[in-house]
Amino acid sequence: MWNFPTPLPDELIYSTIARAGLHHGIQSPKQLLEEVFQDRKVVATVDLPSHLNAIVHLLQRTGRFSLIDLIYKHTMFGLYAPFVQESHRLKAITLMTEQASGSVHLMFGLNASRVPNKNKFHYCPICIQQQRETYGEYFWNRAWFVPNLPICLKHNCSLLSQDYIQQQHRHLFLPLLPNHTQDLPEPYFKEDFILGQMSVELLQLDPQPSPSHEQWTKFYLEIADAKNCRRGSQVRHEQTYEQVINKFKYVYLNSKNLGINPDQDTSWLKTIFRKHRKAFSFLEHCIVWSSFIPEMTPKDILQYVSSISANQYFVKRPTSTDNIPLVKIEEMRQKWQDIVLLHGVTSGRKIKSGQATYIWLYRNDQNWLLTFNSKHLSKPQVRKNKVNWPIRDFSITKELFKILYRSNDDLACPRMSKSWFLNQLSKGNSISKNLHQLPLSSKFLSTYSENTIAYQIRRITHAMIRLGYTESSTKDRWRILRLAGLSKERITQEAQIFLNMICEKIYAY
């Protein structure tokens, strides 16, 4: 694509592509994908887009936009990157260069996050007027798309919402056209401005390595210690709860799906002060930062966390039995042996007497305990093959033939591809994963699956029948192509030859 627009300050890549379609007068979403990516299957992703190498190539003439610049300055990547492992951050950057297939969202935990993704587009009514005066057009600013924070920090106002995403299909890049939609103001709280400020500062950070889980664990223990929320090596969670509630009201946290229950052991506020085994949402981090260390900026916090020595805290405590009477050790060993022989290792740890015995041995006689348990682990039962694959293969092939005979004469039928045939079956997903054990079904799919050429020829035939072509009818080629859903660019050479032959015969009469 020539004259691809240059991304404006803090503009989403999604918005830049949408403006490109607007500038070139491209109304077809698939045509815009073809022009920009040379790929008609790219999904229009707002927050963490992929195929960015194509955008970098289009912006080479500017000499200003590298891949890292686009990711950190024109996507929502900065909200999530500091809180995942460094290996995940680097892998996400690699995936965003080409086809990601949703892997980046899965890797960052957005699919299972407590903080839901926005299903609407938002904009500030004052900002767009300034955009019009400064740049002569509107664009989607990434600060408007921070999840769960529907406010504009620049003008201290609520954002207006456009319910676009649910109404349009996934390949469509929508430009910002506020005059053509019915806009609704989003409700907000005063606490939104506190978290919004920290979130925008995260977006503005320069690229940097992500701290490890061990560094985050040490950091949160330190800030708990600074507020006298520790008792020895344990965190006093009831005091951390009070510290957060004094800053953010319970009603506000519930409205953001971040409610905290001091009696619930799996509450996110408790787990964030324990050993980190997973990444937490940026909002969860910002809530704790605002409550415990409001004087520090996200930039200062990340610099400090990155400087923490991870090995400083995680030191394995040596175990020794020198000061314990031998009689006591033998008693506890025998007790654990009796429990394991009766219940097994896993079940023995769950009963009340087994818990206490296991913990005592783990603390005082760890080497013997682990050696004994390794010899008494239950072996998994060998799974018997309950499926008679030859019989199942025959029945599936028989069902596939029925589908073929039922649809063979239907010219309006969708393309009868391998996926289409499998979707007609009751358990198509399971069958597709076991085709290596279904030779007859695999042979059927390879033989009778319809390719693109045959499908286009069938569509042309159906279009001509629908138009009612006879010897005396009008023969307009473009009518056939339009009704068949084809174009000069998409039609295959074989389908073009077929169309020419049919039209020449009709014209000959």
For residues 183-209, average pLDDT: 88
Q: Provide φ and ψ at 159, rounded to 5°.
A: -85, 150
For residues 163-184, average pLDDT: 69
Q: Is the pLDDT of residue 164 over 60?
A: no
Q: Provide φ and ψ at 195, rounded to 5°.
A: -70, -35
What is d(CA 426, CA 448) in angstroms, rounded to the nearest whole number?
A: 19
List, in order, residues 6 or more apart from 273 with CB less than 8 Å away: 220, 221, 224, 235, 237, 240
State the Cα angle at 172 between 171 and 173, rounded to 5°. 120
What is d(CA 324, CA 361) in angstroms, rounded to the nearest whole number?
A: 11
This model's pTM is above 0.85: no
pLDDT of residue 168: 61
Where are the strands (E) in 234-344, listed by range?
234-235
pLDDT of residue 469: 59
Where are the strands (E) in 128-188, listed by range?
151-152, 157-158, 160-162, 184-185
What is d(CA 484, CA 444) in angstroms, rounded to the nearest whole number?
A: 27
The pLDDT confidence band at residue 166, using thresholds 50, 70 and 90, is: very low
Q: Is the pLDDT of residue 508 over 60?
A: no
Q: Is 73 exposed, middle or buried (0-12, 13-18, 19+ CB in 10 A)?
A: buried
pLDDT tens for residues 465-502?
Answer: 888 754 444 457 888 888 888 888 889 999 999 888 87
pLDDT tens for residues 277-307?
Answer: 889 999 999 999 999 999 999 999 999 999 9
Mean residue pLDDT across the chain? 87
For residues 83-105, average pLDDT: 92
pLDDT of residue 118: 65
pLDDT of residue 177: 84
* Greater model confidence, 312 or 26: 26
pLDDT of residue 100: 87
pLDDT of residue 295: 93
pLDDT of residue 474: 46
**Angle, in degrees to the nearest 10, between helices 352-364 and 326-343:** 130
pLDDT of residue 81: 95
* Greater model confidence, 456 or 161: 456
The pLDDT confidence band at residue 452, using thresholds 50, 70 and 90, is: very high
For residues 373-390, average pLDDT: 77
The residue count of the chain comes to: 509
pLDDT of residue 472: 40
pLDDT of residue 443: 94
Query: What token pair was written down for 415?
Result: 């393309």
**Residue 295 vs residues 194, 289, 292, 301: alpha-carbon distances, Å:** 12, 9, 9, 10
Torsion of CA 140, 14, 286, 69, to 10 degrees: -110
pLDDT of residue 501: 84
Q: Is the pLDDT of residue 201 over 60?
A: yes
Q: Is the pLDDT of residue 195 over 80?
A: yes
Q: Is the pLDDT of residue 421 over 70?
A: yes
pLDDT of residue 322: 64
Query: How many other C-beta atoms are found inside a 10 Å radius of the C-beta of residue 12?
Result: 24
pLDDT tens for residues 406-417?
Answer: 988 888 899 999
Contact at 8 Å (CB) between 237 and 262? Answer: yes
Q: Tokens 């005979």 sit at which residue? A: 405
pLDDT tens for residues 205-257?
Answer: 999 999 999 999 999 999 999 998 988 778 999 999 999 999 998 888 888 88
pLDDT tens for residues 313-354?
Answer: 444 444 555 678 888 999 999 999 999 988 888 888 888 888
pLDDT of residue 265: 84
Contact at 8 Å (CB) between 441 and 435? Answer: yes
Share of residues in the chain with pLDDT > 70 (%): 91
